[in-house]
Amino acid sequence: MATATKCFRTFFLIVVFTLLFAASAALVIIPAIHGDEKSPANPWAAAQTVQAADLAQEIKDKKTTAPTIVYVGFRTLFAGGHVPGATFRGTASTEQGLSELKKWADALPRTSSLVIYCGCCPFEKCPNIRPAFTALNGMGFKKLRVLVLPTNFATDWAGKGYRLEKGM
């Protein structure tokens, strides 16, 4: 009889544990299925963003001084195509890339007009843009903006027919 009780207790604990595990997994999975997962908070204000059409016009307009455009994503994507005049400053999602970005920016006047962008993936999931903005903003840049590419560079810049450059 004691053996049957131990078996029943073990079976009961396994069932309870499995149900608890399944319930906790459902709490994580169900919001993701419905698209209810939280997007990371943006460290910039709306006034610190620029849309692709507006930046393309700024670059084209010879009457205004174009901003310094800084790509903070992956080297292979930059080489495949980038905003005209943009410079590659490393992958801001890595310590080394962020360090290279800060080292480069340290020599610039804090009044420099900078536009940073990545475009590797959907904007709200980009691993590079938020660390880059946070670092440059923390360094005191007053005219810092983020190029908004909701889907990615290929769709929201190249796909719209805006000029681009290739190579490093």
The string of pLDDT tens digits covering residues 29-51 is 444 444 545 556 788 888 899 99
Half-sphere exposure of 127 (CA within 13 A, CB side): 9
Q: Which helix (H) or strand (E) covers residue 68, if one does?
A: strand 68-71
58: exposed, middle or buried (Cβ count in 10 Å: 0-12, 13-18, 19+):
middle
Nearest CA among 113, 129, 151, 116 for reference residue 42? 129
Q: Are strands 49-51 and 113-117 parallel, antiparallel or unpaired?
A: unpaired
Q: Output the pTM of the full model.
A: 0.71
Q: Please state, in angstroms and rounded to a whole number, the distance separating the CA atoms of residues 157 and 59.
A: 13
Of the two residues 17 and 95, the one the predictor is more confident about is 95
Scanning the structure block, which residue is given the tokens 């769709």? 155
What's the whole-number mean pLDDT along residues 53-66? 83
Residue 148's pLDDT band, with cuts at 50, 70 and 90, is very high
Structure tokens at 46: 């709306």
What's the whole-number mean pLDDT along residues 134-144? 94
32-36, 53-57, 155-159: segment of lowest average pLDDT: 32-36
Strand order through the sheet with 87-88: 49-51, 143-148, 113-117, 68-71, 87-88
Does residue 35 come out as left (phi exceeding 0), alpha (psi in the -120 to 50 range) or beta? left
What is the number of other CB atoms lying within 10 angstroms of the CB of residue 78? 25
